[in-house]
Amino acid sequence: LFNADMTEELGCLYLSPSKHPDHDVEVCFWLVKKASDAGMEPRFETFVRDWLAAAWPFKKPGFPGRQVSWDDWNQG
Protein backbone atom coordinates (compact mmCIF):
# COMPACT_ATOMS: atom_id res chain seq x y z
CA LEU A 1 0.00 0.00 0.00
CA PHE A 2 1.47 3.31 -1.11
CA ASN A 3 0.41 6.92 -1.06
CA ALA A 4 -1.18 8.42 -4.19
CA ASP A 5 2.09 9.41 -5.85
CA MET A 6 3.77 6.09 -4.96
CA THR A 7 6.57 7.75 -2.98
CA GLU A 8 5.76 6.44 0.49
CA GLU A 9 4.89 2.95 1.71
CA LEU A 10 1.87 3.02 4.02
CA GLY A 11 1.45 -0.69 4.72
CA CYS A 12 1.17 -4.17 3.32
CA LEU A 13 -1.53 -6.78 2.66
CA TYR A 14 -1.03 -10.55 2.77
CA LEU A 15 -3.37 -13.23 1.41
CA SER A 16 -2.37 -16.75 2.42
CA PRO A 17 -3.98 -20.18 2.30
CA SER A 18 -6.05 -20.58 5.44
CA LYS A 19 -5.13 -23.14 8.07
CA HIS A 20 -8.49 -22.52 9.80
CA PRO A 21 -11.30 -24.84 8.64
CA ASP A 22 -13.94 -22.09 8.72
CA HIS A 23 -12.12 -19.80 6.28
CA ASP A 24 -10.74 -20.24 2.78
CA VAL A 25 -8.12 -17.48 2.91
CA GLU A 26 -6.12 -15.79 5.66
CA VAL A 27 -6.08 -12.01 5.30
CA CYS A 28 -3.52 -9.99 7.25
CA PHE A 29 -2.36 -6.43 6.85
CA TRP A 30 -0.40 -3.78 8.64
CA LEU A 31 -0.15 -0.03 8.28
CA VAL A 32 2.65 2.31 9.29
CA LYS A 33 1.98 4.39 12.41
CA LYS A 34 1.39 7.56 10.38
CA ALA A 35 -1.37 5.86 8.34
CA SER A 36 -2.90 4.18 11.38
CA ASP A 37 -2.87 7.43 13.36
CA ALA A 38 -4.61 9.13 10.40
CA GLY A 39 -7.53 6.70 10.77
CA MET A 40 -6.78 4.68 7.65
CA GLU A 41 -7.04 1.25 9.28
CA PRO A 42 -10.85 0.85 9.32
CA ARG A 43 -11.14 2.37 5.83
CA PHE A 44 -8.45 0.06 4.48
CA GLU A 45 -10.09 -2.99 6.07
CA THR A 46 -13.42 -2.05 4.47
CA PHE A 47 -11.68 -1.60 1.11
CA VAL A 48 -9.98 -5.00 1.41
CA ARG A 49 -13.24 -6.76 2.33
CA ASP A 50 -15.06 -5.13 -0.61
CA TRP A 51 -12.19 -5.88 -3.00
CA LEU A 52 -12.06 -9.53 -1.95
CA ALA A 53 -15.82 -9.89 -2.42
CA ALA A 54 -15.76 -8.26 -5.86
CA ALA A 55 -12.53 -9.55 -7.38
CA TRP A 56 -11.67 -12.88 -5.78
CA PRO A 57 -13.46 -16.25 -5.54
CA PHE A 58 -13.09 -16.54 -1.75
CA LYS A 59 -16.30 -17.37 0.09
CA LYS A 60 -15.13 -17.00 3.71
CA PRO A 61 -12.05 -14.84 4.17
CA GLY A 62 -10.66 -14.85 7.68
CA PHE A 63 -9.07 -11.85 9.37
CA PRO A 64 -7.08 -13.29 12.30
CA GLY A 65 -6.42 -10.76 14.99
CA ARG A 66 -9.38 -8.70 13.78
CA GLN A 67 -12.54 -10.74 13.21
CA VAL A 68 -11.13 -13.87 14.89
CA SER A 69 -8.74 -13.76 17.83
CA TRP A 70 -5.29 -15.17 17.15
CA ASP A 71 -5.88 -17.83 19.84
CA ASP A 72 -9.08 -19.01 18.15
CA TRP A 73 -7.43 -18.84 14.73
CA ASN A 74 -4.47 -20.95 15.81
CA GLN A 75 -6.72 -23.52 17.50
CA GLY A 76 -8.94 -23.84 14.40
Residue 76 has pLDDT above 90, yes or no: no
Task: Give 14-73 as a DSSP string.
Answer: EEEE--STT-SEEEEEEE-HHHHHTTHHHHHHHHHHHHHHHHS--SSEE-BTTTB-HHHH
Residue 67 has pLDDT above 90, yes or no: no
- State pTM to two decimals: 0.87
Q: What is the pLDDT of residues 13-32, one digit of tens each?
A: 999 999 899 999 999 999 99
